[in-house]
Structure 1
């Protein structure tokens, strides 16, 4: 697939061709970006055609976050290209594009014995792992951190080579030439990149690459959302006119379609089905059964689905997942379970004594609710599998499909497709396994699409949590001792067992049982200056497989912290903003966000019946990371919760594309609203009770509040904005409802029964 303003073409590079100037890596790989006719490749990141089109490689999944614009923008700005001539090509899976920051961050998952040897992106062990395992995973907002440097180096080297070619033609020093608007310029002389590219590609690139003095950046404008957009999204035209191809849009000769039913959660076994009832169904091609699922294959998906329903499969389950059992397990764990200390500041809880305030908070399982359900297309010919799929973990998908078929991973060709939303749902690869097996059985290309109900059933929800927060304060409200005790599964460790050890869901639960999981309680260490702090994790086996979700642990830990801080402010009759500011002397960036959000929202103090609520959060370390502060204006009426306005101030360091940053913050706020007010499901006998989008109480367009986003002009290292809004919006709304009604809501989703 190639994205550009010229349109969308089916297909992707598989390999081959000559890679020119392969200098930026100490190891050699098969050329991942192949030059076509009248094209020249410059390293693994870009190629320039004779008509002037510059194609940029993007090794990350485009799932709405704008990565197919951000990385090409970095190349264009460093190269001196004309944005109108930039195109995009998703890359094949290759060790040439390792996501080193994410590999270091996830080191405890792939190297649990010695994670301290691989906790930095510059560590040799990290690079070795990431290159050997073709670790191109898209997650945790690491795309810019991982690939901005390589993109800039490649573009700078290409710019130098183009300048060398032009300089030789003019008889001048190449260092005296400039690149701007797609031309190499020297005084009044200019040559286009298109005129130079084919000859320039044969030159030796300058070493080191001549990087521009300033990295790519856009400054916040006083015009806010009305400011002109200098680098519009490359994928937007194709999305608007419907020409952008997703996994469910692939069409192959002689292709058939599959619908599937999975057994109840978890470890169910297909017991029986009525093949006779489906026999003769119009358009039915065949039936394929797995150990824990059954699929019908038809000439159309609707024919397959209709036949599938007639099969009436039954499954054998030892014990189906039930919400009552989940809540009992969490209750017992948070009240009586053995805790593992994750964070200690000062003396931890030693000086606590009798707490001034203690509060219990709960979070229900939440579904991802992606617009696009799990979809994949497979073709198996002569032992070679071709797989069209949207996946955040492409090598994991290849390995899982290969293992299911008993073939080599080298015999699996993956064509990366964009995702219609993911929110980390596409880290899971069950449908890659299923479509590979179905393709083998039917002997034809097949497209598998899960129904919405199956997406709810077989997906991995965000984990439920029970939390106890306690604080010892002075008479004035100063927090001397703070303790957060969170009971939940070691959900990240469980995910790691599936991702890196290819374990089934129940085996992953067993392998991670009882293990402390710092990533599962990330963000629970308050951003405030307190004397003594302790954060504890009580690992608990709830039987329900859980997974990653946008915001991850920050989505509930910020809710706990900011709700509890608000309770302490109310207990001591302190104004919520000044109460927080008093504790942020060590973090002036977060304090500035609070002040700016207050000005933006015309903060009135959050008094009784004001309907205004405040929350702030930091992601990442104190010396880096991103900050956000939000003020919500909300009320409760007959129709539920009405969020009227969200005023937000954000510090994400240097901003590369401010329009996409705004989209990500706004999208995160709306997604966080969905988690705050809905997205949850109960479970009965191994089945989710919410199997349709309409049952999830997601915000509609009419429910969306007025959103104001203020960006702080910062020179700090860039921080991805995609998850900040998700974290902060739930406590802001909860605190707003407290100011409006006097009711303290301590359960997500809000108004779901917990006060």
Structure 2
């Protein structure tokens, strides 16, 4: 243990001791921002996370973006629980940009360690990473981390504020604070005196910050664990909710673009003469390919229609860039060649897999494939910027407000502090709004507007064809069995692009180095007790930009892994559930999830024919991602036209403490629908460097009439909460593929799933 006195020595010893001392201390406090929170009349800020008004409203400061996942409701409930507020008095306000709101959990979880690794190296790396991200990280909503990241900070903020309110009441009444309690927005004394939080707020703000506070035990929870209604639901129902596309500051102008059809291309030269003659046109300008985006020409006009018509009238000669000759065929050929030669970076190994394979009585091998995918959020890319008097205001839907501010500032040539970002609701994010290309682009366009605010809005086609795509990926799996049919060896190698190095370059200008966990997550970080195993990934560089897509590497690696587990079960002539259970004897939480899903789905019992007399079959998949364990059993049929129909999905999840069962069920259902859309239809193809898909007619979504019945069961748990926004996605594709094998005997090893 490092004593405080060691940092009092002089010279080099002092510097070394300071570094050691910094290393062993926990991340710095996350209660108080660098600058006081903005307060309206009658409000009192008790810390960086909560303000109490004289009208007895409790305003929870929200550092995470709301994109339909319910983070605002869950996080507000956590703080309100420890504050002992009444749910009806809770309001929300987006936080300013400050380091106390940096996301620590996502980056720590991104370290390439196996979940079963409990060694000192993992502990030290996680500790130091959290400390570093507290100081130089980013505000971010992603990685299914909102609740996990703020579980303790929000609880501590609520508990500290409660203690200050109680102290204020005790001082006002001349009693001991230990004689007072908080309950449903009131502070009460044992003798019967009562005061609302609002009556005590101003005095509470003057109280010294309490030292260590005692957090509630789960048995004391009144809000956590309850199916509270979503806090933003009324505004979405009555139309008052404001999304990025709804920004409408006075004097708003509108910008439309024509962008290079080749992803990553730019303008060689353009002629705007015809466009400038059209009604309502204010400006026509070239726009550079910001932050890994694509260049183009923008038209600013008085209405969206005028801007769109004028943009179509611009004549452009393009510099198509390095992706000009890229096609889906060349991509897959390049990946196939890499797979044949790959050794890859080993993310997980156990025993001696080569010797075990050589000694195996039988082996099986299979290759799997997944395509590029677009995010296809319902709200297309947009951003509104006003640049006036050397300062800027940005209205946008973003998952990274700090990076959005930085991107706008850089595009405008001003300091970050001169940019104000208004975070609005997101009409879907799925990782696309982790990028800042569209913010920089909108800022550059607004720079020429003479101080007027300008909304830059992409068409649906531009959104689809200028995305940062989920990487295409190939994988080869091999399993070895002994003479009794028991699995003795497991080998997996995958090839594809890496996301993190690209993000580091386009966002921070940093050259990425070291392994990228997202390339192999879902393959190496799983609970199966393979006696001998090696799991690796080989990075293949290609000119198409890739980005984070809902569940990231898990989205395709789960399909590869769980499909091949089923192949191994079939080769061993074992039931798929029993085969998995045998590999989970030391992982009781996972085993419980698997067995519960099988029980609820009536696994092993005959399925009655459907209403039209079609035959049905079940398939199972188990997968761990973002800290949560999910098992899904899909009930599937095939029509005479070979159309695949999923009728029922039983979904069991262990996500640690269930903050709000409604939110968890909604996210599991959402994950199933999102994952089924990708499994049955999702594919981005390229020809001459250009994306061939454009709109929902050729990037279809799962229709309501085709949605299965989804039954979610949440395992009761005393563990800390884990992610729920993404873990419902990965298991559904392999569960459906495994059901199709049981039904038809065809083993589908490529996404999207199509029967021969």
Tell me the equivalent position of 1:492.
500
* 1:573 paired to 2:567: no
SS at match of 2:150: helix
Q: Deviations over 1:277-326 (max 9, x none)?
A: 32322222221112421111111112111111121423122434311111
Separation in structure 1 between the aligned mates of residue 651 and residue 533 of structure 2, nearest angstrom:
28
Q: Deviations over 1:555-601 (max 9, x none)?
A: 11111111011112122321111111111101111111111111211
Tell me the equivalent position of 1:523.
522
Separation in structure 1 between the aligned mates of residue 123 and residue 696 of structure 2, nearest angstrom:
41
Tell me the equivalent position of 2:388.
381
SS at match of 2:448: helix
Q: CA deviation at 1:407?
A: 1.7
1:288 pairs with one of 285, 288, 307 = 285
Distance 1:664 1:28, change over 3 A: closer
Distance 1:558 1:729, change over 3 A: same
1:71 pairs with one of 75, 81, 93 = 75
C-alpha contact 2:83 2:159 (8 A) present in aligned 1: yes
Distance 1:720 1:195, change over 3 A: same
Tell me the equivalent position of 1:41.
45
Distance 1:32 1:374, change over 3 A: farther
Tell me the equivalent position of 1:362.
369
C-alpha contact 1:271 1:314 (8 A) present in aligned 2: yes
* 1:336 paired to 2:333: no
Tell me the equivalent position of 2:308.
305
Q: Deviations over 1:8-32 (max 9, x none)?
A: xxxxxxxxxxxxxxx9838974335
SS at match of 1:356: strand
Tell me the equivalent position of 2:14.
none
Q: CA deviation at 1:685?
A: 1.7
After TM superposition, the structure 1 = structure 2 runs for residues 633-672 of structure 1, keeping only pairs within 5 Å, are 633-637=635-639, 638=641, 640-672=643-675
* 1:418 paired to 2:425: yes
Q: Deviations over 1:234-257 (max 9, x none)?
A: 100101111111111111222210
C-alpha contact 1:217 1:654 (8 A) present in aligned 2: no
Tell me the equivalent position of 1:631.
633
TM-score normalized by structure 1? Answer: 0.89
* 1:477 paired to 2:485: yes
Tell me the equivalent position of 1:507.
none
TM-score normalized by structure 2? Answer: 0.89
* 1:396 paired to 2:403: yes
Q: CA deviation at 1:416?
A: 1.2
Separation in structure 1 between the aligned mates of residue 731 and residue 347 of structure 2, nearest angstrom:
22
1:272 pairs with one of 269, 279, 292 = 269
Q: CA deviation at 1:189?
A: 2.9
Distance 1:335 1:580, change over 3 A: same
Q: Deviations over 1:664-711 (max 9, x none)?
A: 111111111111112211011222111102212320111110010111
Separation in structure 2 between the aligned mates of residue 25 and residue 477 of structure 1, nearest angstrom:
55
C-alpha contact 1:388 1:415 (8 A) present in aligned 2: yes
Tell me the equivalent position of 1:467.
475
Separation in structure 2 between the aligned mates of residue 700 and residue 542 of structure 1, nearest angstrom:
33
2:56 pairs with one of 44, 49, 52 = 52
Separation in structure 1 between the aligned mates of residue 540 and residue 310 of structure 2, nearest angstrom:
40
Q: CA deviation at 1:207?
A: 1.3
Q: CA deviation at 1:75?
A: 1.1
* 1:130 paired to 2:138: no
C-alpha contact 1:264 1:320 (8 A) present in aligned 2: no
C-alpha contact 1:555 1:727 (8 A) present in aligned 2: yes
Q: CA deviation at 1:69?
A: 1.0
Distance 1:219 1:323, change over 3 A: same
C-alpha contact 1:105 1:119 (8 A) present in aligned 2: no
Q: Deviations over 1:597-630 (max 9, x none)?
A: 112111126899641101101225xxxx321111
C-alpha contact 1:477 1:568 (8 A) present in aligned 2: no
* 1:92 paired to 2:96: yes
Separation in structure 2 between the aligned mates of residue 612 and residue 720 of structure 1, nearest angstrom:
27
C-alpha contact 1:475 1:572 (8 A) present in aligned 2: no
Aligned alpha-carbon RMSD (Å) = 2.6
Tell me the equivalent position of 1:5.
none
Separation in structure 2 between the aligned mates of residue 676 and residue 252 of structure 1, nearest angstrom:
41
SS at match of 1:643: strand
User: How many residue pairs align between the two structures?
Assistant: 704
C-alpha contact 1:220 1:658 (8 A) present in aligned 2: no
SS at match of 1:604: coil
C-alpha contact 1:613 1:733 (8 A) present in aligned 2: yes
Distance 1:605 1:498, change over 3 A: farther
Q: Deviations over 1:471-520 (max 9, x none)?
A: 11123332111111101012232223323327xxxxxxxx559x643321
1:260 pairs with one of 252, 257, 280 = 257
Separation in structure 2 between the aligned mates of residue 512 and residue 446 of structure 1, nearest angstrom:
34
SS at match of 1:613: strand
Q: CA deviation at 1:372?
A: 0.7
Separation in structure 2 between the aligned mates of residue 527 and residue 293 of structure 1, nearest angstrom:
47
After TM superposition, the structure 1 = structure 2 runs for residues 422-571 of structure 1, keeping only pairs within 5 Å, are 422-443=429-450, 444-501=452-509, 511=511, 516-525=515-524, 526-571=526-571
| Deviates most, 399-408 or 372-381 | 399-408
Separation in structure 1 between the aligned mates of residue 108 and residue 590 of structure 2, nearest angstrom:
26
Tell me the equivalent position of 2:85.
81
Tell me the equivalent position of 1:112.
none
C-alpha contact 2:481 2:572 (8 A) present in aligned 1: no
Separation in structure 1 between the aligned mates of residue 101 and residue 224 of structure 2, nearest angstrom:
31
C-alpha contact 1:360 1:746 (8 A) present in aligned 2: yes
Alignment gaps of 5+ in structure 2: 1-26, 113-119, 289-294, 610-614
